Amino acid sequence: MPSEQPTPTNPLMIWRVDMRTQTLERQTVPESWQTLGGRGLLARILVDEVPATCEPLGRHNKLIFAPGLLVGHMLSSCDRISVGAKSPLTGGVKESNAGGSTGMQIVQLGIKALIIEDQPEVPGWWLLHLSKDGARFESADDLAGLGVYETAQRLLERFGSKVAIALIGPGGEMRFSSAGIQNLDKDRVPSRINARGGMGAVMGSKGLKAIVIDASRGSKPPVADLAAFREAQKAYTKALMEHPQTASYRDYGTAGMTKLTYTFGALPTRNFSNGQFEGAETISGEFMRQQILDRGGEGDPTHACMAGCTIRCSNIYAGADGKSLVSPLEYETIGLMGSNLGIDDLDVIARLNWEVNDLGLDSIEVGAALGVAAEGGLMQFGDGERALELLGEIRKGSVLGRVLGSGAVTTGRVLGVERVPAVKGQAMSAYDPRAIKGTGVTYATTPQGADHTCGLTIRAKVDHLKPEGQALLSGKTQVNMAGYDTLGACIFAGFGFAAAPKTIAALLNARYGWQVGADILQVLGRETITLELEFNRMAGFTKADDRLPEWMQHEPLQPFDAVFDVPQEDMDAVFNWTGA
């Protein structure tokens, strides 16, 4: 690597861990990596270092943790950690980001990117401990098979309550393509998951059960112009606090989305066979908030996943006895494990959610797989107890459990089900794309596989049922989202940045001493997507992969009789600025 020296305003370094030799090398950051972070940096490293045709669970894949460019300063909702690798679920580029405390502590240790390479020669489980002293490996065989809640508890007792932890559950150990990586939230609950694309399986393939990050002797990253940074921070925070959506997400969390998707006829119901669920009321954000308040005890309708977040869209959902059932209970889980399974009881959805969390799995992918399984005759829609039994099969690692844990597409293939809601092997989030067509374009064209966080268009003031203009809308939204993911900003931080767009350049210039212009979000977004497309092209993807499933083009979705009819030419032009 080039021998760029860290500068006082940019002292971060690349930490490269070799799982075969159990060694750490600290390297300076190559010039072309300096101006990237988070999702953009992951894409750059994957293109530069990972053979695109490699086996995702083999020794040549790399698991990369990269905090975004603005992480480390307790800017509201801007301390996320991006994790990336070649995905075992999609076979393509993957970035999955999460809140919690991992991002902040990685930066405080001076890490620009943590790159985990190769595999142990002898099978076994390992714990990687990172601190100012460097890296230390410890056997984690005693933790093998344990769920993430028990594992995190033991690690906190061993290493103290101040550390950050990124860990996998039994799902990652069994290398399921639906496995994610759990991170501690600010209250030390392992609940913030890098969920999508099987990053937990990649971590499992490296023999890593957990990474413990101890930044107790670390420090906040320096800021080139502190006064300018503070001023921009103030303007951004003010814009965020004054935005009406901030209050809505504080009160109802992401679950506030249930009523909106119901209204649009886009709430996945019984394996995406309808856009409205008759039980939507009792799984809505409004109902959940009231129930949490009525029950009291440990429940809390407004909770922050990371220190300093002023939106606090998270929650603690408690049962009738006031004891926590799960935290958080999010819209995507409600959509995929509630209405999509015909379940209208939040207590049941919370139990399913706890199980999936403890297994360390993506609730979107598993919820979609269970929906396909129900259609294939393995459970009745609405039967929560049977859904729990099926999760038990996943925990046991039975053949059936392994099929379900491999995701919706594998489940559909094994059961002969055509109605599988997935693109590039990855299940759709809880927005039926026939009724929110811009998001359908995003699902189809993003290099990441179906994923609403790559470009959710539901808040745009357009007719979501009309095909015209959706590709343009999706393209713009995707660029912005790739930019936010490169900053380390939560999707909801976008409310503040959209209201005060100049603050993005102001923050970056003050932090790094740069001179970037007002279009920096789009510059970062375009660069990121261009790199991701390049990786996927080298992995063998073509435009033929940028399509929604065929059945969505001819099976009308009720109540609006909607099919997905955005012209292919429009979708193929989404990224025409790349020249691809």
**Closer by beta carbon to ligand SF4, 164 or else 311:** 311
Residues in the chain: 580
Query: Which of 43, 279, 17 shows the shortest CA–CA distance to 128?
Result: 17
Query: With respect to ligand SF4, which residue has the nearer C-beta, 298 or 555?
Result: 298
Sequence-ordered list of residues with C-beta below 8 angstroms from that of 58, at least 6 positions apart, any chain: 119, 205
Smallest gap from residue 236 Cβ to ligand SF4 (A): 14
Q: Minimum distance from CB of 303 to ligand SF4 (Å)? A: 7
CA pair distance 340, 429, nearest whole angstrom: 11
Q: Which is nearer to ligand SF4, 77 or 457 (CB)?
A: 77
Buried b (16+ CB within 10 A) or exposed e, 124-152: ebbbbbbbeeebebeebeebebbbbbebb
CA dist list (Å): 408 to 178, 359, 367, 415, 418: 9, 17, 8, 10, 11
Confirm if 456 and 442 have CB atoms less than 8 A apart. Answer: yes
Q: How far is the CB of 93 from ligand SF4 (least distance, A)?
A: 23
CA distance 335 to 261: 9
Of the pair 69, 490, the CB lying nearest ligand SF4 is at 490
Minimal distance in Å, beta carbon 190 to ligand SF4?
Answer: 15
Q: What is the DSSP letter of 179?
A: B
Residues 6+ apart with CB under 8 A from 206: 19, 63, 116, 118, 119, 120
C-beta closer to ligand SF4: residue 277 or 492: 492
* Nearest Cα to Cα of residue 340 among 258, 248, 442: 258
Q: Which run of H or of E encompasses 247? A: helix 244-252
**DSSP run (H or E) holding 453:** none
Considering beta carbons, is residue 15 or 484 the nearer one to ligand SF4? 484
Q: Where are the beta strands (DSSP E) in 68-207?
A: 81-86, 93-98, 111-117, 126-131, 134-139, 164-167, 181-184, 190-194
Least separation in angstroms between residue 495's CB and ligand SF4 is: 9
Q: Which is nearer to ligand SF4, 192 or 424 (CB)?
A: 192
Cβ neighbors of 5 (< 8 A, separation 6 or more) are: 28
Min CB(206)–ligand SF4 separation in Å: 27
Alpha-carbon distance of 528 to 542, in angstroms, equals: 18
Summarize as ranges the residues that interact with ligand SF4 (CB under 6 A): 77, 99, 304-306, 309, 311-314, 490, 492
Q: How far is the CB of 383 from ligand SF4 (least distance, A)?
A: 31
Query: Toward ligand SF4, which CB reaches closer, 125 or 492?
Result: 492
Q: How far is the CB of 434 from ligand SF4 (least distance, A)?
A: 27
Minimum distance from residue 88 beta carbon to ligand SF4 (Å): 25
- Is 450 within 8 Å of 87 (Cβ atoms)? no
Question: 277 vs 484, which CB is nearer to ligand SF4?
Answer: 484
- Minimum distance of ligand SF4 from residue 185's CB (angstroms): 8
Residue among 253, 402, 429 nearest 326 (CA): 253
Query: Which neighbouring-strand residues pair with 208?
Result: 126
* Residue closer to ligand SF4 (CB basis): 80 or 395: 80
